[in-house]
Amino acid sequence: IGSLKFLKVKSRATNVPLSPYSENALFGMGNPLLDISAVVDKDFLDKYGLKPNDQILAEDNHKALFEEIVKKSHVEYHAGGATQNSVKIAQWMLQEPHKVGTFFGCIGEDRFGEILKQKAREAHVDAHYYEQNSEPTGTCAACITGDNRSLVANLAAANCYKKEKHLDLESNWELVQKAKVYYIAGFFLTVSPESILKVAKHVSDNNKVFCMNLSAPFISQFFKEDLMKIMPYVDVLFGNETEAATFAKEQGFKTEDIAQIARDCQNLPKQNEKRRRVVVFTQGKDDTVATVTTFPVVDIDQSAIVDTNGAGDAFVGGFLSQLVVESPLEECIRAGHYAANVIIQRVGCTFPEKPDFH
């Protein structure tokens, strides 16, 4: 728990500790996507070769899926993308001040891009998008069946993020430097690992907190090399039980026990030895494993679950909201459980006007 604590930073002028709880204290960078969410049936999943509960990148054979899903009844559009969701949830949990959360990512100069900008403003997130016109704004089809969701991401513009054209710009890098807590989902490894590495090195060199998510099994399988280049800089590692198991298999861990996998992840090489790595694996309705102990989730009547899409992002967002204000690990996890519990009772990664978290 102590490894999550910040070094207190003092203002030279007043010698008063500066609160980490200020504008731009939380930095996120990832793939901004417009979620297109609809209830589908098993035939729809089978038609496009989808598993009920999975996350994949769209391929050529999924093109028709996006055309078909928008014709479904009760289609909903929400600002999405894993990291953007988590930053948005953290901001919602904190409420004030606005713009605690900063977000970087790439969008197109189009209607969907304008929707994402508007949604970020409504969520009081300080979004600075790299806008280009060679690719349209990315979308993610959320195919809902019962309690499950199968996500198919068409990155499009999100895949066009350029370090030298955005992250390296002085005004943008100053926003990066302002933060105390950083979160990047593993999904961004498919887009700009060099951007992640630049941020991660800054965080480590300045003894701040860098958080990452395993995000999906395919990241551990097909982006293993880039993932392991970043891993030494990771102070807090998130994932769910499926992602943890895949990571363990790919790394040659000789166990399928989630708690042991968490310990093995904690013991991977670490750049900043002032902070012990914290590993947090969620397991749906089962206890959350956090390196040294387990934490029960909030009990919920299964019939109250509307949509599990965004539950993992919400957990991370709740966790980050308390990490920013220097709460102990138990409170970070309690906030994560609270946020996830709210989100699964609503469609998409959406939330009421104000949280009821105490």
205 is catalytic: no
The phi, psi pair for 248, rounded to 5°, reads: -60, -45
DSSP state of 302: G
Residue type, 127: A
Strand residues in 7-100 grouped as ranges (E): 9-10, 17-18, 26-29, 33-39, 54-57, 76-80
Catalytic residue, from 226, 287, 313, 356: name it. Answer: 313
Residue type, 80: G
Beta strands at 148-154 and 54-57: parallel, antiparallel or unpaired: parallel
307 neighbors 144 (Cβ within 8 angstroms):
yes
Which residues have CB under 8 Å from 184's CB, separation 6+?
28, 29, 30, 83, 196, 199, 211, 212, 213
CA-to-CA distance for 125 and 324, rounded, in angstroms? 15
Task: Show which residues are catalytic.
Answer: 313
